[in-house]
Amino acid sequence: MKSSTVSLRKQHTEATLLLHCPDRTGIVATLSRFISDNRGNIISIDQHSEDEDRAEEGGFFIRLCWRLDNFRLNHEQIVSELRKMGKKFQWNFDLHYSHEPHHVAVFVSREAHCLYDLLHSQAMGELQGEIRLIVSNHAHLRSVAEHFSVPFFMIPVEAKKKKEAEDIQRELLTSYDIHLIVLAKYMQILSPHFVKNWKNQIINVHHSFLPAFVGPKPYHQARARGVKVIGATSHYVTEDLDQGPIIAQSVTHVSHRDGVKELIRKGRDLERHVLSSAVRAHLDHRILTQRNRTVVFEA
Amino acid sequence: MKSSTVSLRKQHTEATLLLHCPDRTGIVATLSRFISDNRGNIISIDQHSEDEDRAEEGGFFIRLCWRLDNFRLNHEQIVSELRKMGKKFQWNFDLHYSHEPHHVAVFVSREAHCLYDLLHSQAMGELQGEIRLIVSNHAHLRSVAEHFSVPFFMIPVEAKKKKEAEDIQRELLTSYDIHLIVLAKYMQILSPHFVKNWKNQIINVHHSFLPAFVGPKPYHQARARGVKVIGATSHYVTEDLDQGPIIAQSVTHVSHRDGVKELIRKGRDLERHVLSSAVRAHLDHRILTQRNRTVVFEA
Amino acid sequence: MKSSTVSLRKQHTEATLLLHCPDRTGIVATLSRFISDNRGNIISIDQHSEDEDRAEEGGFFIRLCWRLDNFRLNHEQIVSELRKMGKKFQWNFDLHYSHEPHHVAVFVSREAHCLYDLLHSQAMGELQGEIRLIVSNHAHLRSVAEHFSVPFFMIPVEAKKKKEAEDIQRELLTSYDIHLIVLAKYMQILSPHFVKNWKNQIINVHHSFLPAFVGPKPYHQARARGVKVIGATSHYVTEDLDQGPIIAQSVTHVSHRDGVKELIRKGRDLERHVLSSAVRAHLDHRILTQRNRTVVFEA
Amino acid sequence: MKSSTVSLRKQHTEATLLLHCPDRTGIVATLSRFISDNRGNIISIDQHSEDEDRAEEGGFFIRLCWRLDNFRLNHEQIVSELRKMGKKFQWNFDLHYSHEPHHVAVFVSREAHCLYDLLHSQAMGELQGEIRLIVSNHAHLRSVAEHFSVPFFMIPVEAKKKKEAEDIQRELLTSYDIHLIVLAKYMQILSPHFVKNWKNQIINVHHSFLPAFVGPKPYHQARARGVKVIGATSHYVTEDLDQGPIIAQSVTHVSHRDGVKELIRKGRDLERHVLSSAVRAHLDHRILTQRNRTVVFEA
């Protein structure tokens, strides 16, 4: 099955701005005036602000999307203007364009369910991005990659040679111009050094409802504790294992009837759902991260 | 249990604007400039636009909330300015203030579960409104009203004297200055004449997942059809029974084990949940209605 | 990816009895005595009885599973004994053996999501059955079948030649010794004649929460009605379109943000989940059907 | 509102046997033969067995319900016979009768939502038991108890006088002949000595999805960790705080929009749902407990 070329949902070219700063008066007015004064047409605006009493950090988060058809500024000019305005508001921002969809690398080991789901999603035109390569420490899923016509690289990770493996991975990521790494049941732990260079650009799926059952064999843990609900979590990878900012969580009811095997089967369903949801949110540029928490605007 | 006076979540006085018009360039910029030019501070902005290809009607919907602390315009001036600007954009709008919470009348018959839920919600300070009176065609729930110290009026509705009953109801609604009527398992059908005067101001709970199982005895219908999921629906009341704009729906799994009695018990849970959710959305001014559909912004 | 041979969860050979009769005293005692007197070991017993006040039909339903290791009777003897006892109780029964898993044919058109899910489930050893062939009226999904090494037959269905197509299908079903047909987004309507011969042996997935939105384009209907929940339904196919006994239903929340495209995407997830759940229940011999309703025992 | 007398769902008197033993051949046959030989009519049978490979403990669990109308044995005889048979199978059992519903004490502090729910459930005839008294360390909810006409006892628990308070509680529990204690947001920790005497007879509701967020302020913890799902747990109380056997868990999605206040509001809904579900299961005699896990048969 040929992986279709990315089908962009929108016919017009659009810019998406993700911006974060301390909360204060005039941010929306400043930004919307900037866009309309330059003949942009705002398509959508999502905004979130946190009161100080809610969370010590506080803060203002916005996602602004506008049409570029008659916009008077080019990329450099937009960035330069946003920087100028940003001095007053102390904001950080990212800028994305609908005609420059992100490039994705999927890392896998032996389990195929998340990989099938992502590749089929892409084939259906559901992803605002392009899966450009698949990396695995096993040959096991090569045929899946071939079936969807996506390049597959087998890079074994030996016990004491992780650095060598990561060097090869890094080269591949560079040469394929990758923006996002998706760990779709990749059963290896990436080194802190590797992770540091991909801040908020590596999405993992953890097979439990974090923060319950961190560590290995969560379904065995869940069975032993006799829980009546299990879950799965997608999150950005940080240097602290299983501690990164949570993007999405899914849960399902279980009972005494569900042995470990059944929990694993139900968990597979949760895992692919929660990973696919996180990947779509990231590729749609709907996620802002502050410290260890995410703001995920609705699709 | 004394019904607490309305506890407003926000300390500052706020205005909330709900606005609807055809989609075109510059609406957000115009509104946010209007607010900031008059020294208002935008607290939150929610917006939704519908492409023409999605729905024939199209349209732009916005909810804007700002602080009035140093705002330079009074109510009359705000309305007058919004009307002036509205000529260009053909918008319709409603304006609400946090210091003027809506007054609510709850209509009931014999079932208490939704009434308890609403009154307890109010006691917890969860409602941005005030339940001022309870109207019933039975004396059955008088003690519940008394327990929460809310005035209770028993207005029997006899077969051919609905008009007389509605006349009394209307007088009560006027003298209590009511903005919203909640039908919390009120087992009478209001006349078209009555309904017409309260457009998008009467919320009903229907004991099924509409549009499945319209009409009476939906749980018996559900059992007979052998469905595996049941639901409940809250909606604005229109002259077409069970056809008004849907505000919220809740669902739960059922099985062959659930007889009609069990379905009714599960349904009660869904009903109170879905009615309370709709009432909160309305009192928070988060609902916009176009033709037969609602836009319900998240809380 | 090679479709694995069926991996039976249990090491011992087991018999599963599905039995249905009017409710009366002594059924469980009779059956369990029959099994233990013949040295069978009951592994699991699921039972359901309907009071007359619940449903006019009433009835007793049981699923009994026992080990055959030292059982003193062979198949013919079991059937003969059950028939003898059945005269008193007027029961109907089906008997299945774990070493004779059912053979499955999957019918598809152009959409792949349910097919991938079923084939991957089989590869994971989740199905107590064997997908032996895939039938389609299009060539579109041939590569998916090949990827999983399952025979694929393209049988075009022309407007006035449905009978001819069904004749070929019937031959295939016979020669592959098929017990269950799964319509995994097969966009053709089978003839009443065809359906009649496969009573409770054809499972379809309908892209709505039945009985809401029968007929074509349910997601467009759902969007037009402004519902806040959508669903999918798997059911046995009967001669009345969309009216067969419901096996499983799944639902998910939607909002004004979800256009028809998004509803379809969310619907795909529901469809594969609900179809896979029904197929597993059928292959596990957990479904009993009475008139237009199912009893589905938990896994 | 007068709390109705317990309405028993079934017209006939029934016995319910809960039994637990190591798994071996012939248990179902032995029990069902025992019942039918004595002219009992089995109404329902629920059974669960755990393979050794699933859990080290293994075991067989059964719930058997039969009509006593023409049963030839009285209580003493049933118990005596079950004990005799039990020598072979090493079983433990409990026996309950539909005409002897359990007596319940509800312990509360200041929060009313769970209490309203339980009392209203009883008024609706949903509970197979009778709430006989309400105990609180505050006077706050006295009016709720009075509204439902249930005796209310205020027993303050002072810092170093817990023993004295528990002595009074114990006397009350004895004089009201209580079988089940429900901690409906009782914000005191019972002493190990007290708990030991009520094994599997005290049900608590914990305001989180255990085992995540044990300890105080779970909603603040949840907010700080940025989870996307919150939950509530009902469990039997053991001497290890928050570690007892889990009976039911409920979960709901949350987002960055939900501050601690909103989490608490959503949590209240989960708490009453999950507590009510556990109380109904216990009073229906549908729960068996082994070590730290429950088998909860479906209603």
Which residue type sits at C246?
Answer: I
Nearest Cα to A234, choosing from D227, B65, B275?
D227
A47-56, C25-34, D134-143, range with the lowest pLDDT? A47-56
What pLDDT score was predicted for residue C150?
98
The CATH number, out of the four listed (2.40.110.10, 1.10.510.10, 3.40.50.720, 3.40.50.170), of the domain defined by the range D102-296: 3.40.50.170
Neighbours of B232 (CB within 10 A): 26
Q: Show which residues of B are catalytic.
A: 242
Instruction: Look at the alpha carbons of A288, A294, A298, A299 in this order and tell me if their dihedral is positive or negative.
Output: positive
Residues D112, B120: C-beta atoms closer than 8 Å: yes
Neighbours of C191 (CB within 10 A): 13
A72-76, B9-13, C282-286, D234-238, range with the lowest pLDDT? B9-13
DSSP three-state, residue A119: helix
pLDDT band with cut points at 50, 70 and 90 for residue B238: very high
Nearest Cα to C43, choosing from D206, D23, A275, B83?
D23
**pLDDT tens digits, C133-178:** 999 999 999 999 999 999 999 999 998 899 999 999 999 999 999 9
What pLDDT score was predicted for residue B282?
98
Angle in degrees, CA A255, A263, D220, rounded to 5: 75
> What percent of chain B stands above pLDDT 70?
94
How many whole angstroms separate alpha carbon B189 and alpha carbon B193?
Answer: 12
| Per-residue DSSP letter, B256 | T
pLDDT band with cut points at 50, 70 and 90 for residue A9: very low
Cβ pair B24, B60 in contact under 8 A: yes
Q: Considering chain A, what is the average pLDDT of its residues?
A: 91
In chain B, count H helices and then E strands. Answer: 8, 13
Residue B53 has pLDDT above 90, yes or no: no
Residue A208 has pLDDT above 70, yes or no: yes
Domain boundaries, chain C: 14-97, 102-296
Per CB-CB distance under 8 Å, the chain A contacts of B298 are 298
Q: Considering chain D, what is the average pLDDT of its residues?
A: 91
Per CB-CB distance under 8 Å, the chain A contacts of D251 are 229, 231, 251
Chain C, chain D: beta-carbon pairs less than 8 Å apart = 53
What pLDDT score was predicted for residue A136?
98
For residue C59 the two structure tokens come to 């009835």
Residue C210 has pLDDT above 90, yes or no: no
Q: Which of D94, D242, D269, D284 is catalytic?
A: D242
Per CB-CB distance under 8 Å, the chain A contacts of D63 are none
pLDDT band with cut points at 50, 70 and 90 for residue A57: low
> % helix / strand / coil in chain B, to the nearest 5?
30, 30, 40
How many whole angstroms separate alpha carbon D234 and alpha carbon D183?
Answer: 10
Q: How far is B226 from chain D (nearest CA, A)?
A: 17
Q: How far is D225 from chain B (nearest CA, A)?
A: 20
Residues D231, A226: C-beta atoms closer than 8 Å: no
How many whole angstroms separate alpha carbon B190 and alpha carbon B183?
Answer: 10
What pLDDT score was predicted for residue D52?
54
Closest residue on chain D to C298 (Cα): D298
How many whole angstroms separate alpha carbon B262 and alpha carbon C5?
Answer: 42
Residues A33, B28: C-beta atoms closer than 8 Å: no
What pLDDT score was predicted for residue A228?
96
Closest residue on chain D to C10 (Cα): D51
User: Concatenated DSSP letters for D135-162?
Assistant: EESSSTTHHHHHHTT--EEE----TT-H
**Fold match between domain C14-97 and domain C102-296:** no
How many whole angstroms separate alpha carbon A159 and alpha carbon C49?
Answer: 59
**pLDDT tens digits, B188-231:** 999 999 999 999 999 999 998 888 888 788 889 889 899 999 99
Residues A227, D213: C-beta atoms closer than 8 Å: no
What pLDDT score was predicted for residue D286?
98
pLDDT band with cut points at 50, 70 and 90 for residue C286: very high
How many whole angstroms separate alpha carbon C147 and alpha carbon A265?
Answer: 22
Q: Show which residues of A are catalytic.
A: 242
Residues C1, A143: C-beta atoms closer than 8 Å: yes
Nearest Cα to C249, choosing from C263, C261, C233, C264?
C233
Buried b (16+ CB within 10 A) or exposed e, D244-270: bbbbbbbbbebebebbbebbbbbbbbb
* β-pair type (C129-136, C102-108): parallel
Residues A32, B32: C-beta atoms closer than 8 Å: yes
Q: How far is D148 from chain B (nearest CA, A)?
A: 10
DSSP three-state, residue B17: strand
Which residue type sits at B35?
Answer: I
Cα–Cα distances (Å) from D10 to B87, C56, C184, in that order, read 68, 18, 43
Q: Tell me what the mean pLDDT of segment A172-177 comes to.
A: 98
Closest residue on chain D to B125 (Cα): D265
Q: How far is C143 from chain A (nearest CA, A)?
A: 6
How many whole angstroms separate alpha carbon B134 and alpha carbon B182?
Answer: 10
Among C115, C119, C120, which would you mutate to test the A interface (most chain A Cβ atoms within 10 Å of its Cβ)?
C120
H or E, element range at B143 = helix B142-147
What pLDDT score was predicted for residue D234?
97
Residues D112, B126: C-beta atoms closer than 8 Å: no
How many whole angstroms separate alpha carbon C183 and alpha carbon C170?
Answer: 15
**pLDDT tens digits, A100-110:** 999 999 999 99
Which CATH number is associated with domain D14-97? Answer: 3.30.70.260
For residue C71 the two structure tokens come to 């059982």
> Could you give phi then psi for residue A134, rounded to 5 degrees?
-120, 130
* β-pair type (A180-183, A102-108): parallel
- Spatial strand order of the sheet with D14-21 comes to D41-50, D59-67, D14-21, D92-97
For residue C51 the two structure tokens come to 């009071």
The answer to whether the peptide bond before residue C211 is cis (omega within 30 degrees of 0) is yes
Per CB-CB distance under 8 Å, the chain D contacts of B123 are 112
Cα–Cα distances (Å) from A30 to A25, A26, A37, D157, in that order, read 10, 6, 10, 57
What pLDDT score was predicted for residue D8?
38
**pLDDT tens digits, A255-286:** 999 999 999 999 999 999 999 999 999 999 99
How many whole angstroms separate alpha carbon A39 and alpha carbon D103?
Answer: 73
Question: Which residues are CB-contacts of C19 (< 8 A; sequence separation ≥ 6)?
Answer: C31, C61, C62, C63, C64, C91, C92, C93, C94
Neighbours of A111 (CB within 10 A): 17
Nearest to B116 among D120, D255, D258 (CB): D120
How many whole angstroms separate alpha carbon C69 and alpha carbon C41?
Answer: 9
Residues C251, B255: C-beta atoms closer than 8 Å: no
What pLDDT score was predicted for residue A211?
83
Buried b (16+ CB within 10 A) or exposed e, B150-184: bebbebebeeeeeeebbeebeebbeebebbbbbbb
Residues D260, A48: C-beta atoms closer than 8 Å: no
Nearest to A256 among D260, D292, D295 (CB): D295
How many whole angstroms separate alpha carbon B89 and alpha carbon B85?
Answer: 7
Burial class (CB in 10 A: 0-12, 13-18, 19+), C261: middle
How many whole angstroms separate alpha carbon C41 and alpha carbon D217?
Answer: 50
Taking an 8 Å Cβ-Cβ cutoff, which residues of chain A contact chain C?
1, 9, 112-113, 116, 120, 123-124, 126, 143-144, 147, 255, 257-258, 261-262, 265, 268-269, 273, 298-299
How many whole angstroms separate alpha carbon C269 and alpha carbon C277?
Answer: 12
Residues B298, D257: C-beta atoms closer than 8 Å: yes
Nearest Cα to D91, choosing from D172, D22, D159?
D22
Residues A112, C298: C-beta atoms closer than 8 Å: no
What pLDDT score was predicted for residue B16?
97
Residue B4 has pLDDT above 60, yes or no: no
What pLDDT score was predicted for residue B24?
83
| Per-residue DSSP letter, D184 | S
Helix axes C218-225, C260-283, angle to 10 degrees: 120
How many whole angstroms separate alpha carbon A268 and alpha carbon C276?
Answer: 13
pLDDT band with cut points at 50, 70 and 90 for residue C24: confident
How many whole angstroms separate alpha carbon B206 and alpha carbon D266?
Answer: 22
Per CB-CB distance under 8 Å, the chain D contacts of C43 are 49
pLDDT band with cut points at 50, 70 and 90 for residue B56: low
Angle in degrees, CA A252, A255, A257, rounded to 5: 125
| More confident position, D32 or C281 | C281
How many whole angstroms separate alpha carbon C92 and alpha carbon B180?
Answer: 57
Buried b (16+ CB within 10 A) or exposed e, A10-43: eeeebbbbbbbbebebbbbbbbbbbbbebbbbbb
How many whole angstroms separate alpha carbon B4 and alpha carbon B25?
Answer: 45
Dihedral angle of Cα A262, A268, A274, A276, to the nearest 10 degrees:
-160
Cα–Cα distances (Å) from C23 to C19, C89, C90, in that order, read 12, 9, 10
Q: Which of C242, C258, C269, C284 is catalytic?
A: C242
The ipTM value here is: 0.91
Count, residues in chain A: 299
Nearest to D29 among C32, C43, C46 (CB): C32
- Name the one residue in this structure whose structure tokens are 């005692």: C29
pLDDT band with cut points at 50, 70 and 90 for residue B7: very low
Which residues on adjacent β-strands are paired with residue C290?
A: C293
Which residues does chain D have with pLDDT short of 50? Answer: 1-10, 54-55
